[in-house]
Amino acid sequence: MTRLILLIMIGFSAVYANDTFVDSTTGLEWQDNYASKSVEKSWYDAKSYCRDLELSGHSDWRLPTIKELQSIVDISKNKPAIKDGFKNVASHYCWSSSEYADGTSDAWIVDFNNGNTYWSLKSDKLFVRCVRGRQ
């Protein structure tokens, strides 16, 4: 019985450790679990979601800036246009923390279908990929 429990714990640790992707170019650590391609939130809820996220032993996650989000785009690819190394990817619009203009009802987003940048109403429900590291 003890061996079975130990095997389960080892298997869990392996999965737990693979829920992030570290970008060797920027040093940023990105959320790369199933939720990163399935969770949709408004901009306000996306910020709270990242702030409350506990993943891979860390609780200092945040919604990325538009520049940080653009740093993982690979424009030589499409559907999805994202750097190699990410496991949980989808071609969808993803929130950044950057407001379109201070105090407006819009924020910047990246379309991972083609890598283009747009803005969207903060009340829209779009996908979320959290980040941690330098800002």
| CA gap 31, 61 in Å, rounded | 9
Angstrom distances, CA of residue 99 to CA of 64, 86, 103: 11, 26, 8
- What percent of the chain has a predicted confidence (pLDDT) above 90? 81
Distance, first Cα to last Cα, the chain:
47
5 has a pLDDT exceeding 50: no
Task: Give the domains, in start order, of the chain with CATH numbers.
Answer: 20-132 (3.10.100.10)
pLDDT in tens, 111-124: 999 999 999 999 99
Q: For residue 78, give the nearest of 95, 68, 92 by alpha carbon.
A: 92
| CA gap 37, 92 in Å, rounded | 8
pLDDT in tens, 14-41: 233 479 999 999 999 999 999 999 999 9
| CA gap 107, 118 in Å, rounded | 8
Residue 4 has what pLDDT?
A: 37
109, 116 in Cβ contact below 8 A?
no
